Structure 1
């Protein structure tokens, strides 16, 4: 959303290590998309919408094997749609609408089982709709409107849901569901003769039998749907998972696979066959708990839109009926093999205590930076921006490389489009004791500086190894005041977590302890207007890490 002009820089497309997204939408870029785009083997999202690009889509784009979202809409791109796009197996959203594409829809698209949204409207596409598109089982929305397509519309798969497809503006199309309001396809002479012969031969008794059978079948389908349906609450970008799939994946939600319990439910480890035997974490909501349904809806709303390397990845959701006929809601996440930051900072078992001894200051600093980067994305990078509202160690998960991922968006608040400083309504959250900013306690609104406060407390906790709600904090003493007093008296090392201190730690490392503590103190001051924004915090944290390396 700038006034950038010229062509798409080859230099950017040569940064093969880019793994999150490239966003060049809403500019004045011209020229064709360079063939070097195929070098982006790790990129997940490529957005070039609303520019003035022309030329053809290079076939080399199939080299973007990690691509999940590709948007080239509202340009002047010509030529045909490369069949090689179907080689990008993980592609979930493909938007090529409002261009000058011609030719037919590639038959190879039928193999794109994971594609969720396909938008090809306002082009010059011709030919028929490939019948193999009925096999695109993951497709949730299809827009083929305003092209020159002809022939009969398929009837199965996505085409059996009139609200999920748009074919307006293709006068040559016929048939399909009655809700689409297209003319019936003309019958061939042989078909007319056969149909008339059958009508004369079958007669009234058979017609009555068919009517009765249809009625019985509809009743059966309706009851079956009530017993075992599974609806995707996230409604786009996500595969369909049933209650039965999750039951098998977790061994019947066995205690042996129980990872942990939270305020609104339990988390189980599972191996999901429908996701190519992927190891997942299944969060099953206890709907008898007050606020659980609202927490599920909130997480669905957030996780279907956010994408960042330091935010937990949601594979899908499941809203169904369990084996006892009760409502069932669950979220399926990427499994984090190293658990939560909580177990590393405050180990309970002997195994956890042994692991926590390896959590060095550098590890903690890297984790803190990961969290800051995630919050910067939530506050500044995603649209609309949002506030997490519950930053604490238990909601920070660590993968096998100790990269941190922010999780649990059950209390998250989406901010209004007009301001990033206040939410749409007054705050209605509980948060977690010790991490909730003081303004929330007097009915303040959800603001980004509230997350900054929680982050500051978390930093101090990571340095000291002490919870903000520890029994030692009473009679006006808080974790923040303890750190503030020790820094001013030059006794800060006395309260630093001893597990973080190496026997031969350098003075530079001690300086970094103090630098991180000062960041934590600036983030956790009482006034929300005096706190730095998270972008400033992230910049300082990165600078501290760079300094300790140098």
Structure 2
């Protein structure tokens, strides 16, 4: 006995029931790393002033007695690396001063008791390598004091709840080798001090949330052996302290980001993702299609796989003046028109993003040859096309396509529609260089009785278009500028 506690070494025997007769002045009892046999005595609850109980790395069997809940002053309870079975008693939630609870590497069954939500001082919670089932109760994530949560290698099921974001002081989260499913919650980004995140060998789907770019202190991210898909987020290459990234055995596709952790072959793993391209040379992956990648890098537009159809997504800049009105106008116009020389809209989206801001977007059929602007006015020598690639016949056909679209809008779609923003960047070309007119954000829909030439309507006589530039009447003369 030292001070107000016991530390015993070389002890090889059953833990006697006489432990219940120990002095109530004892504040700590350490028997870890011995050969303690049998089960934890029921009388353990009599040592009411015990603050530290270490019984780890022994040969204990049986279950944790319900009387453990009488140790109201207990701050550290370590029972790891034994053969303890049975369920975690709900009475453990009575130990509200508990700061460290380690029950890992045992054979504990049942569910995680919701009563642990009362342990508001809990900093470290270790339950890894047991036989636990059920879901992770949201009460656990309500513990703002929690810095380490380890639940790996159990049989836990269900979603990882959005409430995980309430654990704002979480530094380490390990939930690997369970049966958790659904999408990775974006609210994990609220855990801004998170450094180690292990999620491997579950059934997670979707992708890594964009909000994870806020986890500036993240050092290790392991999401291997899941069902994650889509392109690897480029922001992962920008996380300054990311030292180890494991994306193996998922369904990621597209270009591997450059820079950051992706520069060091020993710092990341992408094996088992069969549709990736690019990356550092040592990976020996095929090069990515340059043209498609340029399209992907255009701001507020993305290229996605929508079933078997490739689509383009136009996301509106809602912070700009008139953006919402433009969205409504474009939706109103597109729902009333259908012509093979107009860009085909697949669906629209009006929702809220992960930050709670308004989100509005339009999904269109993807035009492989991009805009006419890219052909007529290449930005740099690296562009795939230049004006010389358009023959006179191709230019004539494009002009006819655009004229056909305008004729339909003016005379054949029920009500007269004036585009008001026709220019080369709003004329898109498909695989066969067939032209499709797009961008109806400034469209004017005239009433059937007004007629397209009625200049008494104030809305019809106001100059409309890009500030500082108004395209000529039909902009088609641009197709026939000299080639040199």
State whether TM-score is above 0.5: no
Normalising by the smaller structure, the TM-score range is 0.3 to 0.5
Please report the TM-score for the alignment, with normalisation by the length of structure 1.
0.35
Q: Under a length normalisation based on structure 2, what TM-score does the superposition of the two structures give?
A: 0.39
Please identify which structure carries the higher helix content: 1
Higher relative contact order (CA 8 A, sep 6+): 1
